Amino acid sequence: MFTYYKSAIDTTLANYGHFVNTENKFSRERKFNFKDIVTFFLFNKGSSNQDDLDDFLEDKFGDLEIELTRQNLSQQRTFVNPLVFKEISKEYLRNINYNVNNPLLKTFNGFFLLAGDGSDFEIPDFDEVRKEFGIKNNSLVKREPSNAKFSGIMDVLNGFLLDGIIGNHKQAELPLMHKNINNIQDIINPEKSIFIFDRGYAAMELYASIIELNSYFVVRLQDNFYKKERKQIQSNDEEIKIILTSERLKRFKNPKIKEKYSKELYLKLRIVTVELEKEDEKTGETKIEIETLLTNLPENLMTTEDICEIYHQRWGIETNYNTLKNRHYIENYTGKRRITIEQDIYSKFLRYNIFCHYKNYLNNIINNKKRKQNKIGEYQVDQANLIRKLKKYLPKMVLNPKAENIRKITKKIIRLCTKAPNKIIKDRKVPRKPTPSRKFNINYKPM
């Protein structure tokens, strides 16, 4: 498995020039070069800036013949385009044959389920950061929280983060989601993918964009959407024609899609009414809510029950965001400029996807063993334990990629992470709201 992320780094950085923000930077051969800087942020351990840097140098150079302060690193990192980290993560997904008949990956009736949603990310509360992210200081009495908008698409059955974008405070979610979808077209099979959205993404241009990809979507509608068309509905699952009025077409931003659909009278879709279980946040009791789902999935592909189950799987993106924030500490930052915040966020994409790949691989090993022992139920690796082990051993493998070292560490990770698995409890439909942990590592000092 080591070769997948080692190859992703090497391939992406083979021609790193277009990821350098300033011309002629990193043109000379140095002991601590562009690749070292990128690798450091991909696999730093999260203790403190200088401690992490010293550990990295020791793991790479052995005898600490090179010294580098965090101030030096702070200066050099400003020339690194944060998008390099996203590209390495995408290359990693290609290397593991994501979406190409990989038997380790889960699907729903042969389809990958891709949930799109946004989340508010807490960012350092410094004046310069607030200004870069468009956060206003209204008054001394009322100060807006220091947050940025994050928009992501995740494979909810396998956990992978396919794309994420950090946007300005209160930035509109739909334009970011369109960018997310454009960014993943080269790593997904659209004809075997179903996009899942909550009520904030009910927009006709989004439907049209996905249809143009020859792909599918399931979106939850607000009660007041398409009232006129919904008056004609007589059953819980039937065809609906949503009129392409001039008012609706005005909201299209993509000129090609707008031109094409301005010649159409309506979008022919499918509307499904379902009962969803929801947990009351105060009492913890489960109650039933009637919800309406809109989709372009035909009946010969998915039944009414299938559509309901597909939407239910959207909850996976909420739990994945929780894992990113409270297990992988994606809101921990080592700088107080927008470029360094983006580097810190995007550099965690690879680590998170490596974690998901290991988790799927180890879950397969665990459940094969349990079946041989005639154990009933489904088991999974202890995620916190796996994250700790990867955090400890990934840098050692990357910086000392000798075959014997890789073999030894890989066996150790498998042994330590499969000996005490957790049994999956499936009787609760909606997980309880997680308890938030500390947002920032108190040992970190921004560069």
* Structure-token match 């077209």, residue found: 185
* Overall average pLDDT of the 173-178 stretch: 96
Position 128 in a domain: yes
> Looking at per-residue confidence, does 346 or 64 come out higher?
346
| Residue 419 scores a pLDDT above 70 | yes
CB 405 within 8 Å of CB 297? no
* Overall average pLDDT of the 247-276 stretch: 93
Query: Tens digits of per-residue pLDDT, 197-240?
Result: 999 999 999 999 999 999 999 999 998 899 888 888 889 999 99
Instruction: Calculate the CA dihedral of residues 176, 178, 181, 185 and round it to 10 degrees.
Output: -130
pLDDT of residue 171: 92
Position 414 in a domain: no
Residue 41 and residue 332: Cα distance in Å, rounded?
12
pLDDT of residue 22: 82
* Structure-token match 């143009």, residue found: 212
* Overall average pLDDT of the 312-324 stretch: 93
* Overall average pLDDT of the 142-155 stretch: 92
Position 209 in a domain: yes
| Residue 415 scores a pLDDT above 80 | yes
373-377, 410-414, 421-425, range with greatest mean pLDDT = 410-414
CB 331 within 8 Å of CB 440? yes
Say which residues have a Cβ less than 8 Å from residue 154's Cβ, sequence separation at least 6: 114, 115, 160, 161, 162, 316, 317, 320
Residue 400 and residue 379: Cα distance in Å, rounded?
33
Structure tokens at 8: 């992703």
Helix (H, G, I), strand (E, B) or coil at 111: strand
> Looking at per-residue confidence, does 162 or 398 come out higher?
162
Secondary structure E strands in 92-144:
112-122
Position 233 in a domain: yes
Structure tokens at 169: 């405070």
Q: Tell me the pLDDT band of 139, cut-offs 50, 70 and 90.
A: low
pLDDT of residue 163: 98
Task: Give the global pTM.
Answer: 0.90
Among 362, 408, 366, 404, which Cα is nearest to 387's?
Answer: 362
Residue 377 and residue 20: Cα distance in Å, rounded?
50
Residue 140 and residue 11: Cα distance in Å, rounded?
50
Among 439, 361, 353, which Cα is nearest to 163's?
Answer: 353
Helix (H, G, I), strand (E, B) or coil at 436: coil
Position 230 in a domain: yes
* Overall average pLDDT of the 180-189 stretch: 96
Q: Running DSSP on this structure, what letter comes out for residue 17? A: G
Percent of the chain residues topping a pLDDT of 90: 62
Query: Tens digits of per-residue pLDDT, 25-72?
Result: 776 667 778 998 999 999 887 766 678 888 888 877 776 567 777 788
Q: Tell me the pLDDT band of 434, cut-offs 50, 70 and 90.
A: very low
Residue 423 and residue 376: Cα distance in Å, rounded?
10
Position 335 in a domain: no
| Residue 320 scores a pLDDT above 70 | yes
Residues in a beta bridge with 219:
197, 294
Of how many residues is the chain composed? 447
User: What is the distance of C-alpha 22 from the center of its chain?
Assistant: 29
pLDDT of residue 56: 83
User: What is the distance of C-alpha 153 from the center of its chain?
Assistant: 6
Domain CATH code at residue 189 = 3.30.2170
pLDDT of residue 377: 87
Q: Tell me the pLDDT band of 440, cut-offs 50, 70 and 90.
A: very low
* Structure-token match 């609760």, residue found: 428
| Residue 104 scores a pLDDT above 50 | yes
DSSP line for 280-327: -TTT--EEEEEEEEEE---TTT--HHHHHHHHHTTHHHHHHHHHHHHT
Position 176 in a domain: yes
* Overall average pLDDT of the 287-302 stretch: 92
Q: How many CA atoms lie within 13 A of 238 on its CB side?
A: 10
Amino acid at 333: Y
Number of structural domains the chain divides into: 1
- Write down the mean pLDDT value for the chain: 88
pLDDT of residue 148: 96
Domain hosting 259: range is 109-325
Residue 315 and residue 318: Cα distance in Å, rounded?
5
pLDDT of residue 373: 87
- The 10 Å CB-count burial string (b at 16+, else e) for 309-332 is ebbbbbebbbebbbbbbbbbbbbb
Position 195 in a domain: yes
Structure tokens at 363: 């879950």
| Residue 174 scores a pLDDT above 90 | yes
CB 378 within 8 Å of CB 423? yes
